Structure 1
Amino acid sequence: MGQPVIQPSFAAGELSPALWSRTDLEKYHIGAALMRNFFVDFRGGASNRAGTAFTGPCVSAATANTLIPFEFSTVQTYALLFGDHTMRVVMNGGLVLEPIVAVQTVSNADPAVVEADGHGYSNGDTIELYAGGMASLYSRLFIAQNVTTNTFTLTDLRGNVIDSTNAGAFTSGYVARVYTAVTPYAAADVALLKYVQSADVMTLTHTSYPAYQLTRSQHWVWTFTQIDFQSKTPAPSGVTAAAELGPTSFAIADANNATPGQIRAPNNDFLNGDQVQLTLTGGWVSLNGITYTIVSAQTDGTFCLQNSDGTQLSLAGFGAFTSGTVEHTPTEYEYVVTAVGANGTTESLPSPAATCSGATLSKVSGSSNVVTIPVQSGATMLNIYRTAENQGGTPPAGSLYGFVGSITAQTSTMTFIDNNITPDFTNCPPQGNDPFAGNNYPGASTYFQQRQVFAGMANQPDGLALSKSGDFLNMDYSSPSKEDDAIQATIASQRVNAIKHLLPMTSLIALTASGAWRIDGGTQSSVITPSQFDAVPQAYNGCSDVPPIVINYDILYVQAKGATVRDLSYNFYVNIYTGTDMTVLSKHLFDGHQIVEWAYSEEPYKVIWAVREDGVLLSFTYIKEQDVYAWCRHDTNGLFKSVCSISEGNENAVYFVVERMVEGQLVQYVERMASRIMGGDPSIGIPADITKAWFVDCGRQYPLTSLGATLYPSALTGAPGIYAANVVSGGQNYTAPTVVDASGSGATFTATVVGGAITAIVANTPGLVTTRPNLVISDPTGSGAVATAIVQSRVVMNATAAVFGAQHVGAILRISNGMGTVVAVPSATQIVVNVTTPLTSMWPQMSGAWTLTIPVQSVSGLDHLEGQTVAILADGNVQPQQAVVNGSVTLQRAATSIVVGLPYTAQLKSLYLDIQGGPTIQSKRKKINAVTVRMLNSRGMKVGQDFGTSLHEFKERNTQPMGQPIQLITGDERVNLDPLYDLAGQVCIQQDDPLPCTVLGLIPEVTVGDN
């Protein structure tokens, strides 16, 4: 026996061959030479990846298709499939359908003709048909062709005409079209589409397109709206202004003929500097209509006038004064009004200017201007702004408007009175601004500090535009600026580098083509305002167009050129964001390749799934606090093209676009990675449910049948009894055999003899089994017969509705984490069940929490894999692979829980064997006598020293009855290997059956020879 050496985990993933001599590295001893279709569980084990379920076809297989996640809430999540100017919506593992249309008939003809009155479909539409009575046409996707008002024919997804001649008689059904929206985006551009989401609105950006908002109204109603970058609150209209009191006239008592001239108008209110005009008679009329300035004003009403050139007016030579008046020169005012929206923060652009001319408010006591505002829809408050007073004149062109007051919006006409209010020119109305005019479209967007931020514009790749605070699409600003104004800035660096991504952390992080920048108000977490804006470089490793992933407070991003993944996190001690290369241990998976898409699936395994440009899938398990970062590779019978992850239930669902070749045609399918959670609890001896295993690709599952009633038990048979027997060997020369249970159960039996051999044994009464049964066969003439007892526990189940029938005898009941076979149907509300897997005590079980499925021998609905060789797992048993013919396969044995799909092989190979902590054995010959594999919920593994003929299977069937699936194994299994010496001492594990496999550790028993 050799010396046991343990490899405790695989937490370092697949290590680069360049590191195969680095036994000094701690991670060498928890790494692997190959992890193909294995991923690293965050606890350190290596698990074969789950398979994928066929979801539906892409609109076109000839163009690029990209998945984008849309998560409105934890229970309403979608994967959006973007193609060439099209978008389909994926939800809960299926394509979202439009409302259903009733089907009147489906013909038995070639081609099949569907009558669905007023369906509204067009040639080429993808539809899902539910044709009752026609199993081969039920719950399948087709293409509608030869469309008329009420009918259409069917082809499969690749255009082959559907022949329904022998499909059975149609009973009832319905049809629904796969929802497909029209988008602005060409297929060549969807891979670079950037997105950010707020509630049920997603902002989509691309430097070749205007920014759009994508809004969801229903599962099947989505709207693309080009963004208009202005306030959501419309500017007021219909605003007018009028002077309440015009210029006041004063009678002139007398005027002298002197230089300078002096005029007396008793009781006037003039002050030095006031502007006035004269209205005179007689020989003085030449002075009328001219604006003068008051100087030398006296308390008795006497004053002099100053000309526009600064000289005082001479009255000499005008003769004797007759009569006249003097009055203030009219002053013109301009007003604008803005509306404040319902949230109190969205201020509109100003209304058109309202002008009035009247007394100078600051000069004429009691004068005022009245601003009239009609009812403004959607406004909660109205702000009024006015130009500066230009006494006796009009406001100069370009004058600023200063704030003079606000009024609460009313449901009737409103007025605002300006009785010489001093405008506040530090508070001016917004000015319209669109930083993306002239095709200067943004390439990235995010939300930060109540602003929506856009960056990486087509004509300003290093520029940023931040919206007004609280008004995400409003890019207006004021002059002088306000704290909540929109902001435009450019990152000042040594060269122009496009901003690829924006991430809201404690500061705003901008990832550019050459590095990372921290953007804030001058210190970390400080508020950004127009007067407080600071951009500080953090790292000088550029970023690709692949969107970064944020895990806790760490940023993972694909470096420029796509061949390196780095992390970026804040370092408190140096006050900077720093990071490291996450691919250094597995560089062979990236050399000459690029990551084009990736997605983070947090639950249950904390894995990032990354698509390479060559269609290979990589997995990256990343838990920084546990120093776990492990890369593995994955492949399928096709190419992975796109990936996204969304929350569905208690797990993150991972969706892929996969390119495959079916019947000589290139196709692209959306596929959903199956759940790897199979229940059970090995710590207390409860195995996982093997019938829930899904380890085939592009597969489909035969649907289990749920009945509309609540189910509960009413009676048990007590301890298990013997209800049948398996004849292992019929023996010879039997004439009148007797069969008894020597263990004393009391069961009675009748044997059938044909040609001297026992062919069957029937249990007449089940007896009461307390120990393991021992069937003894006696006959004076016969010998050699062997039989085993089939022990069952029977339970009577009652339903709250009449849902059972004679057809359910032999059906499989799955309920309360257990299962059994129906042996009798006493009534429409009662069944008797032989329990084959123990039921728990969780009762009652509502409709939908249990299934009763009649076993089937054939599985259809596989036309998407026509001609492909598929793997089959039926009721937990592996059945031989076979080719799909006419969209179906035939099972060797009838079953209920059936998964059919493309097979794939998972392979795990350890590194060159070495003994940690002791002298190296690297150059010495080694013989591995046996390997103990510590496994979790596993079956079907093969172990050897290479992936050729040396692989050995575990012997797995122990005490399970024949016909029942072998339970999954948790614990240690030892297998003897070929007694061969080699230098590497590597152990290979392969799983090529559609079964789960998790390797927690390897314990090879090594004998070391010489070198």
Structure 2
Amino acid sequence: MSYALNNFTGGEFGERLRYRVDLAKYRSGCRVMENFFPMPWGGVENRPGMVYLAPARSTGKILLIPFQFNVEQAYLIEATDQAFRFFRDGELLSGHITTPYSADELEDLCWTQSNDVLFLAHPNHPPAMLSRITTTSFRYETITGHSAYRAPFMDENSDGITLTASISSSGATAQITASDELFVSAMEGALIRWSSPITGNAINETFTGDATGEKVLRVRGSWTLTTGGSFVGTLHLERSEDGETFSAYRSYTVNAERSLNDTGYCEDRVYFRLRFSGWQDPPEGTLYECRAALSMEAYEDYGILSVNKVTDSTHAEALVVEELPATTTESWSFSAWDGCHGFPALVQFYSGDRLVFARTAAEPTRVWLSAVGDYLNYEAGTNADEAMLLTIKTGNGQGGVTGNAISFLGNRKELVIGSWAEIGSLKPKDESNPLAPDNKQYMPETSPGGAEFPPLPINDVLLFVRRGGENLMELSYNYMTDGYQAPDLTILRPEILSEGGGIKALALVQLPYPVVYCLRHDGVLASFTYNRSEEVTAWARQVTDGVVESIAVLQDPSGYDKVYLAVRRGSRLNIEELSRRDDGDTCSGIWLDAAKRFSFEEAVSQVTATHLAGLTVSAVADGIVYPGLVVSGSGVVTLPEEAKEITVGLPYVSTLETLPLEIMQAPESTFSDSKKNSSVLLKYYRSAGGSLRNSGSSKEHDLVFRRAADLANGPIELKTGTSKVVLPDRFDWERSVIAVQRDPFPMTILGLVNDLEAY
């Protein structure tokens, strides 16, 4: 019987499913798919090589971060112990910048980007900004140290502890006394928001000539100005930030027949006073006077202190950053982000133009959203565009509430919030209006929860890692149930992540077709070709002679995204780039790892690749393969023949093994039959080299692609077509076909038609 396989979009199957012939994806699945990519249109192609770019700055722990301003201006950030370096178009830019992140802290770094600013979050350090200053230079600065930063604060004291300050003036150093034990040494550097009610909420001035009012009104929020009497001239409302230096704010020119009634709003605390100019004396026998009243509703005013030194549990020294409204208060709160209470571990954007931080050591279920368009403003307010905060009641997935910390943030139409047991969404309660402090709700959506990995947005879904790090899940909206669902994408290959110790990092390639890279803790890349609309969900494994430590993807205008890798090869740590697959007619691509390419006008027999010193490599020289070359201790590679176009690197093997060739279609089944596969008709596309064998034999049958038109011992053109390979075989209970590519050339398999016999 003819057993045709022309679709491999089922990817690798798990060993526990290798006999599930009844599954729809069985005929498109494989037992082994190593260093092959299943393509969304059915076939498979072996992966291209990895091109060596540079040695890492150090051989310790490393993290690669993408910095994508646009498709033309993209940078790779190499983060190592307390330093960032930058690559552009594969070239290392000169110099580095210093950061506070030690090598052991890099795995907890979280980031998101807005144009040319990368926002960084880490639980041990203040949130920060990495800004691109020029096309070749960057600046690192903390958000908390920026002049425009407005700090978030914890909930107000509820323990009845009273604080007393020795002085309230801005810029002064105050001695702070607590009525009960409060201070610990870790609070040095923390802020204290010092609140007190303002009840004197009006001033009145009477003018009978040009003069400046004697009274000052401390204002925050809405204010009202009214006048009475008859007068001619100009009344000035003057404003001050510090209560001492005033400048013009609003002016009202009035004749004897009109009085004033004006209102306004001050988001920040300011000071107002009144002044009159251009006074005109009244006609004889008439009384002129301007009776002005400036008022506002009573409000809770505040000042800010920065703790410099903790003397003991009830005494501290602090700088008055903003003037205190009173010297004693019971209404105070500590800053939410500081060395004592922790710093936010997560950062993400919300589609309503807010920057979102979440989870500190002291408040593991709290979320802070910036003011709209003002990413450094976290002073919570009540207006729709002001900053807001909320505490998420994370569920246990069974209707109960737990204290599980927030594990990830995702940006969709709503803000997706994951915890270990549950995933929910933050959205407007009234969806006809934007998210606001008085128009927000958190809704539990689905369980199980997610691990601490930023989810990957693909079209209308989010891919996230389930708690434990061994399952990739798909969070999607189900219009039939009006809710979210989260199917397991590893269901057909349940061991794909666990056998490597779970997921270490995630990255997404969108072009030429979507591939999700799941970097495992053992350094293997589990690749997942994903196209939900065409039901393509295929796992494969990409391995190399080394351990992949980190991965990052940058978009590129060529239509091929660039994949960058930090690869540990022995004692060396390299920065490498996955080569772009060359779809030309000749073997012009790179199919070796840690590869370096040389081009000369005159033929040479030696090249130098110091990063390969002491290793055994292969070389492709003018299209001819020379395997088993030993690189000298100084990095010199000596070729048997001279050549002009030379690529040297580490060889790797690409292997594809089908699932057992079984048929289960009533009334027929081959499960109980003995089988043999005597020949295979191979359908291939732009390929060279490779071999086929049956699972019952160790003998590989080389695929011959060279034709009479090809030059002897010279470069060969890639071939597209059909080849029949005879595979001597004997009957046995199980048969599968194995395709192997050991040569540094491309191999694309479109179909395998097997001559299967069963009895």
DSSP 3-state at the match of 2:626: strand
Give the counterpart letter for 1:656 in structure 2.
L
Equivalent residue letter for 1:334: L
Residue type of the alignment partner of 2:484? Y
2:586 matched residue in structure 1: 689
Specify every segment of 5 or more residues in structure 1 that has no aligned partner in the other structure, as ranges. 99-178, 250-329, 339-349, 354-359, 386-401, 408-412, 680-687, 705-852
**Mapped contact 1:230–1:434 kept (Cα < 8 A):** no
Q: Deviations over 1:452-495 (max 9, x none)?
A: 111112211110111112211111244xx222221111012311
2:611 partner SS:
helix
User: What does the per-residue CA deviation read over 1:89-126, in whole Å, with 9 as the maximum and x for residues that have no partner?
Assistant: 12212322x2xxxxxxxxxxxxxxxxxxxxxxxxxxxx
Contact 1:230–1:474 under 8 Å retained in 2: no
Q: Which residue of 2 aligns with 1:458?
A: 361
Measure the CA separation in 1 of the matches of 2:481 and 2:122: 35
Change (3 A) 1:215 1:415: farther
- Tell me the equivalent position of 1:522: 429
Counterpart Cα distance in 1 of 2:605 and 2:505: 41
Aligned counterpart for 2:377 among listed residues 471, 474, 492: 474
Matched AA of 2:444: P
Q: Report which structure shows greater RCO (CA 8 Å, sep ≥6).
A: 2
CA separation in 2, counterparts of 1:500 and 1:415? 56
Larger Rg: 1 or 2?
1
CA RMSD of aligned residues (A): 3.5
Aligned counterparts of 1:64 and 1:668: Cα–Cα separation in 2: 9
Corresponding residue pairs, total: 632
Relative distance call for 1:553 and 1:383 in structure 2 (3 A) is: farther
Report the CA distance shift for 1:243/1:485 in structure 2 as closer, same or farther (over 3 A): closer
Distance 1:76 1:203 in 2: 18
Q: What secondary structure, in the 3-state scheme, does the structure 2 residue paired with 1:698 have?
A: strand
Q: Deviations over 1:500-546 (max 9, x none)?
A: 22222111111222221110111557511111110000112121122
Find the counterpart in structure 2 of residue 1000 from structure 1: 750
Aligned partner of 2:62 in structure 1 is 65
One-letter amino acid of the counterpart of residue 20, structure 2: R
State the distance in 1 between where 2:645 and 2:704 align: 24
Contact 2:219 2:266 in 1 (8 A): no
Distance 1:382 1:631, change over 3 A: farther
SS at match of 1:29: helix
Aligned to 1:444: 346
Q: Does 1:334 align with 2:242?
A: no
Alignment counterpart, residue 129 of structure 2, candidates 204, 213, 228: 213
Q: Distance in 2 between matches of 1:430 and 1:934?
A: 76
Show the counterpart of 1:655: 564
| Residue in 2 that maps onto 1:490 | 391
**Residue 758 of structure 2 aligns to which amino acid in structure 1?**
V
- Match of 1:323? none
| Segment of structure 1 superposing worse, 992-1001 or 942-951 | 942-951
**Is the partner of 2:16 in helix, strand or coil?**
helix
Which structure's residues are more often strand, by fraction? 2
Check the 8 A contact 1:676/1:693 in 2, yes or no: yes
* 1:751-808 CA distance string (max 9 Å, x none): xxxxxxxxxxxxxxxxxxxxxxxxxxxxxxxxxxxxxxxxxxxxxxxxxxxxxxxxxx
Say which SS state the counterpart of residue 981 (structure 1) adopts: coil
* Residues 639 and 948 of structure 1, relative CA distance in 2, 3 Å threshold: farther
Aligned ranges 1:670-819 → 2 under 5 Å: 670-679=575-584, 688-690=585-587, 692-703=588-599
TM-score by length of 1: 0.58
Q: What residue is the counterpart of 1:84 in the other structure? A: 81
Q: Secondary structure at the match of 2:348?
A: strand
Q: Find the aligned partners of 2:628 and 2:531 in 1 and give their Cα distance.
A: 38
Give the counterpart of 1:915 among 639, 663, 686.
Answer: 663
Which residue identity is paired with 1:889?
Answer: V
Contact map agreement 2:5 2:28 (CA 8 A) in 1: yes
Could you say if the C-alpha distance between residues 419 and 901 of structure 1 is closer, same or farther in structure 2, counting changes exceeding 3 Å?
A: farther
Secondary structure of 1:584's match? coil
| 1:583 equivalenced with 2:333 (yes/no) | no
Partner SS, residue 465 of structure 1: strand
Shift in CA distance, 213/233, structure 1 to aligned 2, threshold 3 Å: closer
Counterpart amino acid of 2:42? G
Contact between 1:84 and 1:185, CA under 8 Å: does it hold in 2?
yes
Q: 1: distance between equivalents of 2:573 and 2:34?
A: 23
Residues 233 and 558 of structure 1, relative CA distance in 2, 3 Å threshold? closer
What are the equivalent positions in structure 2 for 1:337-416 lying under 5 Å apart?
A: 370-372=236-238, 404=264
CA distance in 1, matches of 2:698, 2:510: 38
SS at the partner of 2:372?
Answer: coil
Range with bigger deviation, 918-927 or 532-541: 918-927
Letter in 2 for 1:24: D
Q: Is the 8 A contact 1:404 1:421 kept in 2?
A: no
Equivalent position amino acid for 1:28 in 2: Y
1:65–1:82: 8 Å Cα contact kept in structure 2?
A: yes
- Is the 8 Å Cα contact of residues 940 and 953 (structure 1) preserved in structure 2? yes
Write out aligned runs for 1:912-951 (5 A): 912-915=660-663, 917=665, 919-946=668-695, 949-951=698-700
Question: SS state of the match for residue 5, structure 2?
Answer: coil
Q: Could you tell me the TM-score, scaled by structure 2's length?
A: 0.77
Could you tell me how far apart the structure 2 residues matched to 1:617 and 1:217 are?
34
3-state SS, counterpart of residue 1002 of structure 1: strand
- 2-structure distance, mates of 1:561, 1:4: 44
Residues 565 and 15 (structure 1 numbering): CA distance in 2 closer, same or farther, change over 3 Å? same
Which letter maps to 1:513?
W
Q: Distance in 1 between matches of 2:520 and 2:661?
A: 31
Determine the C-alpha separation between the residues in 2 that align with 1:212 and 1:194.
Answer: 11
SS at match of 1:864: helix
Query: How far apart in 2 are the matches of 1:370 and 1:914?
Result: 92
Cα distance per residue 1:546-598 (max 9 Å; x no partner): 22111001100111110011000122232222120000101122335211112
Q: State the alpha-carbon separation in 1 of the partners of residues 526 and 3 from structure 2.
A: 29
The letter of the residue matching 1:66 is L
- Contact 2:75–2:87 (CA under 8 A) maintained in structure 1: yes
Residue 230 and residue 186 in structure 1: after superposition, are their counterparts in 2 closer, same or farther (change >3 A)?
closer
1:882 paired with 2:629, answer: yes
The yes-or-no answer on 1:640 pairing with 2:570 is: no
The 3 A distance-change label for structure 1 pair 403 and 576 is farther
Check the 8 A contact 1:368/1:419 in 2, yes or no.
no
Q: C-alpha deviations, 1:7-58, integer Å up to 9, x for none?
A: 1211010100101111000111110011111121121211111110111122
Contact 2:446 2:485 in 1 (8 A): yes
**Among candidates 553, 562, 572, match of residue 667 of structure 1:** 572
1:968 to 713, 718, 730: 718
User: Distance in 2 between the 1:945 and 1:643 partners?
Assistant: 35
Instruction: Give the match for residue 273 of structure 1.
Output: none
Q: Does 1:866 align with 2:595?
A: no
**Which amino acid in structure 2 is aligned with residue 945 of structure 1?**
N
Residue by residue over 1:663-694, the C-alpha shift from the partner in whole angstroms, topping out at 9 and shown as x without a partner, is xxx22111100001333xxxxxxxx221x221
Contact 1:243 1:370 in 2 (8 A): no
Structure 2 CA distance for partners of 1:526 and 1:560, relative to 1, 3 Å: farther
Residue type of the alignment partner of 2:118: M
The alpha-carbon distance between structure 1 residues 968 and 867, as it changes in their structure 2 partners (threshold 3 A), is same
Q: Which amino acid aligns with 2:349?
A: Y
- Equivalents in 2 of 1:231, 1:695: separation in Å? 52
Distance in 1, Cα, partners of 2:619 & 2:298:
76
Instruction: Tell me the distance in 2 between the aligned counterparts of 1:591 and 1:477.
Output: 43
Asked whether the 8 Å contact 2:384–2:434 carries over to 1, the reply is no
SS at match of 1:995: coil
- Matched letter for residue 41 of structure 1: M
Report matched runs for 1:561-580 at 5 Å.
561-580=468-487
Q: Secondary structure at the match of 2:451?
A: coil
Q: Shift of the alpha carbon at 1:949?
A: 3.6
Cα distance in structure 2, aligned partners of 1:425 and 1:970: 82
The share of aligned pairs that are identical, in percent, is 28
**Equivalent residue runs for 1:838-857 within 5 Å:** 853-857=601-605
| Separation in structure 2 between the aligned mates of residue 419 and residue 867 of structure 1, nearest angstrom | 93
SS at match of 2:665: coil
Alignment of 1:102-113 (within 5 A): none
